[in-house]
Structure 1
Amino acid sequence: MEDHLLIRQMAENQKHAFDLFYERYYRYIYQIAYKIIKNRVEAEDVCHDVLLEIYQKANQYNPDRGSVKAWIAIRTRSRALDRLRKKTELLANKMEDILSKASPAADQYVIENMEKQVLQRALNCLPREQQQAIYHMYFDQFTQKEIAIELDRPLGSVKSSIRYGLQNLRKQKSLLKWIGSSGGDK
């Protein structure tokens, strides 16, 4: 049975379609999640969440916007990244791995860490739509079109969120202090 027919049947709450879909895509979803999270248990949780979400939102799939496999990959990647953001311990371990491979000088590490903290606080002050769009654009390196698909919003709305978000970031006092003081207190 073709993938888009399985999705359509799942949208009609046909359990056998979900069973077939599960058998066909569980490993695929798990591999994507594990590649991002690097934790077996967390990747399995993401797998479960994605499969449940796909079953519940099967009617949102649009074959004109891409293949089933691409739709699944985008959802899985997004959920895995969400999980990373929520699990600070996992993120800290991943950052430690990255930093240990790069091994920058201690002072450079401290400065970069402080810059990241200032930027994260500034991002947290933005409206959620702007946060999501900017995060996907600059941290996940999504195109604006990919962001629109991921967030299920019109492309124009995504572009506006990015533009207004960047304008709001420029107005943030914490960023202005950081930039104006060359990274430290005067």
Structure 2
Amino acid sequence: MLEEDHLLLKRMADGQKQAFDSFYEKYHIYIFQIAYKVVSNRSEAEDICHDVFLEIYQKAIQYNPERGSVKAWIGVKTRSRAIDRLRKKSGLLTNKLEDILMNASPSADQYVIERMEKELLVNAMSRLPKEQQQAIYHMYFEHFTQKEIAFRYNRPLGSVKSSIRYGLQNLRKQKSLLRWYGSSGGDK
């Protein structure tokens, strides 16, 4: 069973569509159940499944059998993506960060407000220690997992988690951001 899963991943890494189809049939319910348990929303869970399968297909070569079974690997990956999805949905600051950089606005007034918000956030981010800046940027703007950030910068996972937590706390404490968000976008 374990060898079969590993072989499917190797074949997927070689671009074999049939291997992906077999892998999908075997694991789609398992992945959906994990995602749904975390987010408690069918539509969100389906989106997460799509993202996880896409990532598995693109990064099948990254599976390392010495670190655990394929089932455990995709279980951790799914749970991480689901938690990332919840993080993106929670908190005003997180939503603002995402919205400002990702959404274009048709109206001139909205464009000016978004530009001001972006400048404010860039300025606030520049006041953070470099490790916090990198961790927050990669997590919220490039959608890296905490493990991927730790691997990229060769840092312990706990350090990355702390950098994100303290970085967000430091952003929330900055007076310029508090005044801006407390005034509903600068109306006061």
TM-score, normalised with respect to structure 1: 0.56
* Residues 12/168 of structure 1: CA separation in 2 closer, same or farther (3 Å cut): closer
Matched, 1:174 2:173: yes
Query: Partner residue of 1:5?
Result: 7
* Residues 156/38 of structure 1: CA separation in 2 closer, same or farther (3 Å cut): same
**Partner Cα distance (2:171, 2:43) in 1:** 38
- The one-letter amino acid paired with 1:87 is K
Matched, 1:84 2:83: no
22, 30, 34: which one pairs with 1:20? 22
**Partner Cα distance (2:90, 2:172) in 1:** 26
Contact 2:35 2:82 (8 Å CA) reproduced: yes
Q: Deviations over 1:57-84 (max 9, x none)?
A: 1111111111101110111011111111
Number of paired residues?
131
**Partner Cα distance (2:11, 2:68) in 1:** 18
- The one-letter amino acid paired with 2:43 is V
Q: Per the alignment, in what secondary structure is the counterpart of residue 56 of structure 2?
A: helix
Contact 2:48 2:81 (8 Å CA) reproduced: yes
TM-score, normalised with respect to structure 2: 0.55
Query: Partner residue of 1:127?
Result: 133
**Partner Cα distance (2:40, 2:8) in 1:** 30
* Residues 72/30 of structure 1: CA separation in 2 closer, same or farther (3 Å cut): same
* Residues 150/17 of structure 1: CA separation in 2 closer, same or farther (3 Å cut): farther
Matched, 1:40 2:46: no
- Structure 2's unaligned 5+ residue stretches are 92-123, 140-145, 175-188
**Partner Cα distance (2:66, 2:150) in 1:** 17
Q: How does 1:53-132 map to 2 (within 5 A)?
A: 53-88=55-90, 126-129=132-135
Q: Per the alignment, in what secondary structure is the counterpart of residue 15 of structure 2?
A: coil
* Residues 5/151 of structure 1: CA separation in 2 closer, same or farther (3 Å cut): farther
Query: Partner residue of 1:52?
Result: 54
**Partner Cα distance (2:37, 2:133) in 1:** 30
Moved over 6 A (4+): 130-133, 163-173
Q: Per the alignment, in what secondary structure is the counterpart of residue 127 of structure 1?
A: helix
Over the aligned positions, Cα root-mean-square deviation in angstroms equals 3.7
**Partner Cα distance (2:36, 2:6) in 1:** 25
